[in-house]
Structure 1
């Protein structure tokens, strides 16, 4: 087993339904007591405040409301008009005595528990023995501390929820067998205080604040038995989920006091489970010898250290506190763990004899169950050393089980980033408390639907997972902007370079370095710093590709990498206020001052090849195909894939287009001539030279543009390559032949060496079903993973906006030769009637080499037309918005933001597929810009 390698989660563990626990709660308590008792109970007349403070100190929610009355008449009237869950009465009340009042109330309200509180005295105890207490559920001694009220409420809540929570979910329990009012009134507050404090500790196993609070519901329940029959019933019912038993020795059996009832109970329990923790407590010191023979604990009730000894028993024997591994001979401590993570970290160095000792006694699973880690505890409970060839093998199994459990937990939630507990098993974490922004929401949603639909995404030797991610909330952005007084420069007319310079010189919040350092120490690959603004990837204005994304090589000293990541974050923040972003804001009628930026820190997918890093495949898939070519259908979807980083696709470079329904049919590969002309020639990779990154307006400053021969050298064309045999004018699939290497994806799409089409088809179907509308998904694939498994990484999901406007015009009646532009490949549905101008790129003497020079001219025209509040039709050759100047004019969306209709035309020898699956195109569809392709 490779401890440093990734362990793949197998879907073994079911999520514990913490939200289903503790469904029945005490929400209102009726207190019946005299004014004098009220004064004694409240001290200064504020019982609710004391209880509230007690709840807060124990991290408990939902403190009950208290209703105080002083007479039996007031009590009965209150019950008529108020909803009451629990009645607590003192002995001295006005009107009828508490025993008669209890009978009256029980007759009318049989479901409401009734508790009587008495002062502790010998006289009261004698009096109680001669009273009819059949209508009273519990009698407790008031010992001057509000702990008793918390214990009463929690005891009754545990009783109300025990059957469901213990038997259906697996919550653990402790049985207290005691018939002395005086002693269980002392024991229960102590036990609950220990249990609830223990719960505060195991809250740390929760990955965020919501999870932590839910985990409190999984604390062990305390069940009180006051005679032998009750004790046996509770034991038989819950023994599979029992942490231990604390039992008196002398109590009623068959209605008669039995001096050795507790001994009988201990013998029964030990026959069933020799290792079940059990302690006998008695006023007779001679019982200590009997307890020793039975190999159970003993507490002397008259000991001055009784409560301390009980506390020690609970912490050591009932799996509370740290887990202490001991030497089985000397009983000396050999190792100590306080969290599941610590158990994983220390497991393989624990001495074999100590581990065997604790395994045999089921100590580890009990400890895990006491911490509400039920799924993994069940696996370990059923783990038998003899089932393995060696103890070392069982250790490895246990280690892998813990790893898989932690991965499964981390895969399902957005965890809070705790620097002291963050490690590689946390898949998605949040830094700060602000919004995580649109892109991060999409990624978190992807993570959720992948885990919720794991059955549909089960492909042999393939793992489907998001990359390791941490999100910096928008509150950090706001603090950065305010503390550095940046809004004035940000909202000015300064150049992009001037704005960037001011941002880079500003300081991030001081705590940021701690978080960044911890994240970087866990990540082995390069790190992408991506924008995630509150407006990004929203349903109707996705802002796709408007803000910058930077990559850091992560190859230098950690302090250097921290500085570079911090600079990259500030660069992304600055990009909110670049000229193009402001133009986009104006075009979408947003107010830039309302924008807030989150940051996605993400492990870059791929492998290192000498000084470069890139994934085997990057892609963009859409669940709707606007330009199907027979036999493709619109709802088959469409995919564009490329070798290397995704910048090749999202910025409109040459990629391979295929339908996931017909992966073997691609127009680009239909003839050798098409293949040579229309397939990818170059690809993007990250330059791993740490000095290649400098803060820059250009977020591609440290990217390399490489050719197919480099990929052949790196071995990545093994799956994606073909060779052109120029002597015979044929394309040969594979790269073992002589000829010109080509990027055709032949082995993947024709021979299914990796089930790319099937995976994408499933992801799109799930995404469209979950979003209830067509979707676009960005992804990357690593076919050279060190684990031996191929890994498919979904990187982003966003909705595709489809409008369903009614169109009154009869398109079939139109005659093409009477119209300025006519196309059978068009996108959009409706009438645009606010167009005043046409911007047309002349075709006479047109040269593709001049594409880049045209950008500034078109940008100036766009701005001058916008200044006059006019809109226009934009017509030009090639693919608008492509960052490959040989495919089209490489404008960014804000540079043509006044266009209401865009037309792409063809020239002789210059024909390009319609724009589809890029950030640029996503903005067209979401902003309802008409699109024509005239080829």
Structure 2
């Protein structure tokens, strides 16, 4: 049935919040070691020729249980003393007809270890039973009757574990099934039936968990079975745990107190007392006397005949029907014919608005919805719905909506912070993060999972009602899918060859993904109907010490009405990301980082693209990169407050070095780029990137931005998105006014509505996420995000990626200001990095005599060749050049990609008298700089900001020289020293006699 998506009753600001169940805290006390005290023959009979361990182990495995116990045997007092020193968790005593030794031993153990549970397991024989009547059994928890069934041992162990964990587990939400029975013969038969049924049902509902770990934990929430053997014990248990009672199963004849005589109608009295407290709790009366059927009816209880040959079947059937186990069946109120069968929570959510009114009314009136949920360990939602009774709200349609809203709230809570296994039948609008495959999530995938965990752990990130924090809907193809794809298509020979990037991409596109993925992808695109981002997530990408930021490809694909066409685009995008592992730039980077290309493995993130549609364009209102350390603090800014780079449109614009706004989240109203009108007009964003929705037949290229639109900010103005994002330049008064003003006047992307007037609490959210990210990762972090902004002053804040900023830990105690300029090649007062580099023999610098920015593309080509030769030699070097290294605009600097300068250990942006470009801060490869320990200097010698002794370098013979670049190699090394705290850096000259080779 197609999923129903009605509007929630509660507005966002009043959205229902449920408290999650702490399954981890349940079943903390376990029985691991069991000591059997019996004579050799009885022990042998119990073990069935030594196979009791095997039988119990197999039963544990079949029922999905963990930690099967180990059994030890003791035949004499000496054996018992040896084993009790090892503190067993449970002792099972098997008496014989000839000797009192077992009972005497048990009493001695109880005296020495009063908290150690001991039970009697006696063969079903007249002789033993007669002896038992005269024994003092006060040292024993229970007496059981052995009928040769290994299931009884499982029941004994689980009954004792339930008793040990009862109070704590019920306080966490678990339910109790109260069994009232004084007959050893009958409860020894009942318990194996009950436990086998309950454990099998628990195994079934646990399979709905999001992954294997949660499946195992959820089984801890199964109902606990509690055995009472008289009225007083049973009533005290019920009174104490009535709110957690799933049902009561009671004999009719049993004592009222310990040691008392059996009372014929004790069970009737008990069930009537329970019914007086709870009109709808399921009750079962079991009796060997058919005359008690009427008594059961008077208590509104089901009846089971103990003497029935189908006792096992009858008990299971009634529990399944009455206690809320199994499927939720909605029947015709008159004929009782099944109308709808609900198998799981998602089906209840999907069908709640179409369920037959009369059938639903009956279940609401009897609280059956809550009970069904409770039996499946869905305690938060069950507890919430249990309080909303028919007496308090007599409106079926409102109950439908409340049930729907509660399920939505529960699924949101459970999906957050969890990497679920992708299941087609479960993945829907409320799924959050799932994986396909059993391999690694890769670097970005791990980062996303960590961010999701962070959001769940720190609830105050969502304390701002108008700006919820989340991650986009995400599915990760794990690395094992990549391995399978590469091997089955025999792609390694081509991938590792010297073929061009285009040839490699073509070979990958023609290859085939595993066929089984097609159905998964159909489900995915049916749920996520907007644009998708297909991102790389390699094993090495965003690792703590060698992140491969920006090396591999990210593709974006538009939605289409033709599902087949969309699936083809998705498959091709995945294959194109795989291909990017083996592009020339990637191989060069692998060489520079001393990694081996064929050991790299790629996971792929398939993610809902954040943004809004405007005709044939799709983009977010805000994209950004937030860093927890600000290496360029100005005025009142503090380095530890961090820095945020924000822009309109897709975040690739920032990564590629486009103009963006640099904001201190603690001082959002003080922005240097907006401090003067000339600076604001020159240094704020004039263009932005958007996904082209009109391109639906994609011919994938090595350039992952091939289907992106580079648009003027005027287009965003036409799209009507700048209301809270801009200031307006008034050319007549020559001023910039905060806010949006109609007309063709230039709009300055200042985000003034948000930063200056608090339309959205974005700075506060950024403060929190940087604080928590750095705290949880225990190192400085870099976080990518995107944000949508609505006209009603609400929005959504999406976290896209988190990476560590790895610090160089080399100690530097020297005062760099004390070093004489005569001894220096370089000095910078604005340096990124920290530590000492003493193995640099090479310095590469751009010739500046007659320099013109039009030469920058040609310089980039020359630089790539020099870098390749340095990589082949395994040598690092110092790189000096004018303007911004890595700029996507060749007029602002030399447009190299990171692989073209990946051998550089110190990179210097040097302003010239006739070429004054504000520093880029290494935007495009910022993470690579910090993780690889690359220092980044900014100097402007023309205004006495730093030093560059170019004359000294010009006086030395060149090791290599091109039209625009000069390469000097020295016999003894230059030494670079960077004080990251003071943001100062120097490069010292070697002694005079040690200059050139």
Scaled to the shorter chain, the TM-score interval is: over 0.9
Please tell me whether residue 781 in structure 1 is matched to residue 810 in structure 2.
no
Residue 592 of structure 1, CA deviation = 2.0
Structure-1 residue corresponding to 2:169: 165
After TM superposition, the structure 1 = structure 2 runs for residues 131-530 of structure 1, keeping only pairs within 5 Å, are 131-166=135-170, 168-254=171-257, 255-385=260-390, 387-388=392-393, 390-530=395-535
Structure-2 residue corresponding to 1:114: 118
Q: Secondary structure at the match of 1:778?
A: strand
Q: How far apart in 2 are the matches of 1:82 and 1:721?
A: 74
Q: Secondary structure at the match of 1:525?
A: coil
Q: Could you tell me whether the CA contact under 8 Å between 2:591 and 2:871 is conserved in 1?
A: no
Q: Secondary structure at the match of 1:833?
A: strand
Q: Secondary structure at the match of 2:771?
A: helix
Q: Give a deviation string over 1:704-753, Cα, whole Å, max 9, x none.
A: 11111110111111222233222332223313144223322222222222
Q: Could you tell me whether the CA contact under 8 Å between 1:620 and 1:917 is conserved in 2?
A: no
Larger deviation, residues 885-894 vs 910-919: 910-919
Structure-1 residue corresponding to 2:741: 735
Q: Could you tell me whether the CA contact under 8 Å between 1:723 and 1:737 is conserved in 2?
A: no
Aligned residues, how many?
932
Larger deviation, residues 15-24 vs 388-397: 388-397
Structure-2 residue corresponding to 1:825: 830
Q: Could you tell me whether the CA contact under 8 Å between 1:33 and 1:93 is conserved in 2?
A: no
Please tell me whether residue 769 in structure 1 is matched to residue 775 in structure 2.
yes
Please tell me whether residue 710 in structure 1 is matched to residue 712 in structure 2.
no
Q: Could you tell me whether the CA contact under 8 Å between 1:640 and 1:917 is conserved in 2?
A: no
Larger deviation, residues 609-618 vs 805-814: 805-814
Q: How far apart in 2 are the matches of 1:284 and 1:871?
A: 93
Q: Give a deviation string over 1:472-525, Cα, whole Å, max 9, x none.
A: 111111222222222222222222122222222222222222222222221122
Larger deviation, residues 813-822 vs 705-714: 813-822
Q: Could you tell me whether the CA contact under 8 Å between 1:915 and 1:921 is conserved in 2?
A: no
After TM superposition, the structure 1 = structure 2 runs for residues 665-676 of structure 1, keeping only pairs within 5 Å, are 665-676=670-681
Larger deviation, residues 118-127 vs 260-269: 118-127
Residue 75 of structure 1, CA deviation = 4.3
Q: Could you tell me whether the CA contact under 8 Å between 2:468 and 2:795 is conserved in 1?
A: yes
Structure-2 residue corresponding to 1:837: 842
Q: Give a deviation string over 1:335-387, Cα, whole Å, max 9, x none.
A: 22121111111111123333332222222112211111111111101113455
Structure-1 residue corresponding to 2:936: 931
Q: Secondary structure at the match of 2:828?
A: coil
Q: How far apart in 1 are the matches of 2:863 and 2:136?
A: 96
Q: Could you tell me whether the CA contact under 8 Å between 1:693 and 1:701 is conserved in 2?
A: no
Q: Secondary structure at the match of 1:88?
A: strand
Structure-1 residue corresponding to 2:857: 852
Q: Could you tell me whether the CA contact under 8 Å between 2:558 and 2:696 is conserved in 1?
A: no
Q: Could you tell me whether the CA contact under 8 Å between 1:684 and 1:703 is conserved in 2?
A: yes
Please tell me whether residue 893 in structure 1 is matched to residue 898 in structure 2.
yes
Q: How far apart in 2 are the matches of 1:465 and 1:420?
A: 24
Q: Could you tell me whether the CA contact under 8 Å between 1:430 and 1:473 is conserved in 2?
A: yes
Which of the numbers 566, 570, 588 marks the counterpart of 1:565? 570
Structure-1 residue corresponding to 2:5: 3
Distance 1:690 1:186, change over 3 A: farther
Residue 330 of structure 1, CA deviation = 4.4
Q: How far apart in 1 are the matches of 2:130 and 2:816?
A: 99
Distance 1:323 1:75, change over 3 A: farther
CA-based RMSD: 2.3
Residue 224 of structure 1, CA deviation = 0.8
After TM superposition, the structure 1 = structure 2 runs for residues 600-679 of structure 1, keeping only pairs within 5 Å, are 600-679=605-684
TM normalised by structure 2 equals 0.90
Which of the numbers 68, 76, 88 marks the counterpart of 1:72? 76
Structure-2 residue corresponding to 1:99: 103
Distance 1:190 1:840, change over 3 A: same
Q: Secondary structure at the match of 1:696?
A: coil
Q: How far apart in 2 are the matches of 1:192 and 1:319?
A: 16
Residue 192 of structure 1, CA deviation = 0.4
Larger deviation, residues 879-888 vs 410-419: 879-888
Q: How far apart in 2 are the matches of 1:348 and 1:84?
A: 54
Q: How far apart in 1 are the matches of 2:350 and 2:516?
A: 27
Q: Could you tell me whether the CA contact under 8 Å between 1:34 and 1:93 is conserved in 2?
A: no
Q: Could you tell me whether the CA contact under 8 Å between 2:549 and 2:927 is conserved in 1?
A: yes
Gaps of 5+ in 2: 941-997
Q: How far apart in 1 are the matches of 2:420 and 2:395?
A: 36
Larger deviation, residues 168-177 vs 718-727: 718-727
Q: Secondary structure at the match of 2:724?
A: helix
Please tell me whether residue 23 in structure 1 is matched to residue 28 in structure 2.
yes
Q: Secondary structure at the match of 1:19?
A: helix
Q: Could you tell me whether the CA contact under 8 Å between 1:617 and 1:781 is conserved in 2?
A: yes
Q: How far apart in 2 are the matches of 1:820 and 1:477?
A: 48
Please tell me whether residue 589 in structure 1 is matched to residue 594 in structure 2.
yes
Distance 1:11 1:274, change over 3 A: closer
Q: Could you tell me whether the CA contact under 8 Å between 2:77 and 2:105 is conserved in 1?
A: no
Q: Secondary structure at the match of 1:822?
A: strand
Please tell me whether residue 755 in structure 1 is matched to residue 757 in structure 2.
no
Please tell me whether residue 85 in structure 1 is matched to residue 96 in structure 2.
no
Larger deviation, residues 75-84 vs 679-688: 75-84
Larger deviation, residues 654-663 vs 823-832: 823-832
Q: Secondary structure at the match of 2:827?
A: coil
Q: Could you tell me whether the CA contact under 8 Å between 2:759 and 2:793 is conserved in 1?
A: no
Structure-2 residue corresponding to 1:902: 907
Residue 247 of structure 1, CA deviation = 0.7
Q: Could you tell me whether the CA contact under 8 Å between 1:882 and 1:889 is conserved in 2?
A: yes
Residue 691 of structure 1, CA deviation = 3.4
Distance 1:277 1:870, change over 3 A: closer
Residue 781 of structure 1, CA deviation = 0.5
Larger deviation, residues 665-674 vs 4-13: 4-13
Structure-1 residue corresponding to 2:132: 128
Distance 1:535 1:410, change over 3 A: same
Q: Could you tell me whether the CA contact under 8 Å between 1:623 and 1:775 is conserved in 2?
A: yes
Q: Give a deviation string over 1:549-578, Cα, whole Å, max 9, x none.
A: 111112242222222212111111111111
Gaps of 5+ in 1: none
TM normalised by structure 1 equals 0.96
Larger deviation, residues 528-537 vs 392-401: 392-401
Q: Secondary structure at the match of 2:138?
A: coil
Q: Could you tell me whether the CA contact under 8 Å between 1:438 and 1:535 is conserved in 2?
A: yes
Larger deviation, residues 862-871 vs 300-309: 862-871
Q: How far apart in 1 are the matches of 2:97 and 2:83?
A: 16
Q: Secondary structure at the match of 1:727?
A: coil
Q: How far apart in 2 are the matches of 1:639 and 1:2?
A: 40
Distance 1:159 1:42, change over 3 A: same
Larger deviation, residues 251-260 vs 456-465: 456-465
